[in-house]
């Protein structure tokens, strides 16, 4: 996987912003191009045509079905970030998680 476009979604985008930053560093180390950004839930729709995967913060798990329906026409994978990755701001783990979901 040479190019990967990930969007993280949480309330205000603050904690997911730190996680995105760490994941960008991990991607750079691995030579993976693309984008890893964090946005609030209200902004997600405007990014669906340019991402491969939408990852929701654990506290947004209840939005997974709704977001999956929105993302389906764009063939965007939607999943919830495991609490262990989110809580530790584990950029490497997030990257591994995203890649594993896209390979299914």
**3-state SS class at 43:** helix
In this structure, the number of other CB atoms found within 10 A of the CB of residue 76 comes to 21
Q: What is the mean pLDDT of residues 20-42?
A: 95
pLDDT at 60: 92
Q: What is the mean pLDDT of residues 21-45?
A: 95
pLDDT at 6: 98
Enumerate the active-site residues: 10
pLDDT at 82: 97
The C-alpha torsion from 40 through 41 and 42 to 46, rounded to 10°, is: 90
pLDDT of 11 over the 80 cut: no
Give the model confidence (pLDDT) of 37-84 as tens digits: 999 889 999 999 999 999 999 999 999 999 999 999 999 999 999 999
Distance between CA atoms of residues 60 and 33, nearest Å: 27
CATH of domain 3-102: 3.40.50.2300
Instruction: Record the tokens describing residue 5, joined without a space.
Output: 């476009």
Confidence of residue 12 (pLDDT cuts 50, 70, 90): low
Domain boundaries, the chain: 3-102
pLDDT at 1: 53
């Amino acid at each position: 996987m040479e190019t990967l476009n990930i969007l993280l979604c949480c309330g205000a985008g603050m904690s997911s912003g730190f996680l995105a930053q760490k994941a960008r560093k991990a991607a750079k180390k691995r030579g993976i191009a693309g984008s890893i950004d964090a946005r609030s839930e209200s902004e997600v729709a405007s990014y669906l045509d340019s991402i491969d995967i939408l990852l929701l913060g654990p506290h947004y798990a209840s939005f997974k079905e709704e977001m999956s329906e929105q993302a389906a026409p764009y063939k965007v994978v939607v999943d919830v970030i495991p609490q262990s990755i989110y809580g530790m701001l584990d950029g490497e783990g997030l990257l591994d998680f995203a890649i594993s979901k896209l390979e299914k």
